[in-house]
Amino acid sequence: MRIELITKESDLLKKGVDYFWKRLGSQSNFNFYKDCIENSFSDNESVPKFYLMMNKKEIIGCYALLTNDIISRQDLMPWFACLYVEEKYRNQGLAERLLKHSLNESQKRGFDTLYLSTELNDFYEKKGWKYHSKGFGVFGDEMRIYSTKTN
């Protein structure tokens, strides 16, 4: 299994947009995902970046590094977001592999801390993430923010 960065030249661009949208989006926001991904190519050293986990030619998971995860804490970045692993591949350590990959990619881009927001309990804590603070979503919902060092 390998983890691929979606690039403008990638043969995975269209499939990647569809994958992120179908796994994480809704019927009305395809253009949101398409625009986000297509505008992530400007600088290879910065974020946003979108990644796919591949098992041969099959996409089995994904994650993104973002400048903001649609949360009130605009002062924090980058954000780990969009983690997804296909159900038949879960409980095999693949989410942890994607998390580790994100830390390496963040460090390569010069970031010493990575953030995420979640409603999950205990998943990220078990992976070494620490509670950082609270933030708010666009509809006023309170969210927990976690952080971890990239090195």
Nearest partner of 90 among 61, 118, 65, judged by Cα: 61
3 state SS for the chain: CEEEECCCCCCCHHHHHHHHHHHHCCCCCHHHHHHHHHCCCCCCCCCCEEEEEEECCEEEEEEEEECCCCCCCCCCCCEEEEEEECHHHCCCCHHHHHHHHHHHHHHHCCCCEEEEEECCCCCCHHHCCEEEEEEECCCCCEEEEEEEECC
- Domain containing 30 equals 2-149
Please tell me the total count of domains within the chain.
1
pLDDT tens digits for 79-92? 999 999 999 999 99
Find the CATH number of the domain harbouring 73: 3.40.630.30
Instruction: Provide the pLDDT for residue 88.
Output: 97
Q: What pairing do the DSSP bridges indicate for beta strands 58-66 and 2-5? A: unpaired
pTM (2 decimals)?
Answer: 0.94
Instruction: Provide the pLDDT for residue 119.
Output: 84
Instruction: Provide the pLDDT for residue 45.
Output: 78
pLDDT tens digits for 40-54? 997 777 899 999 999
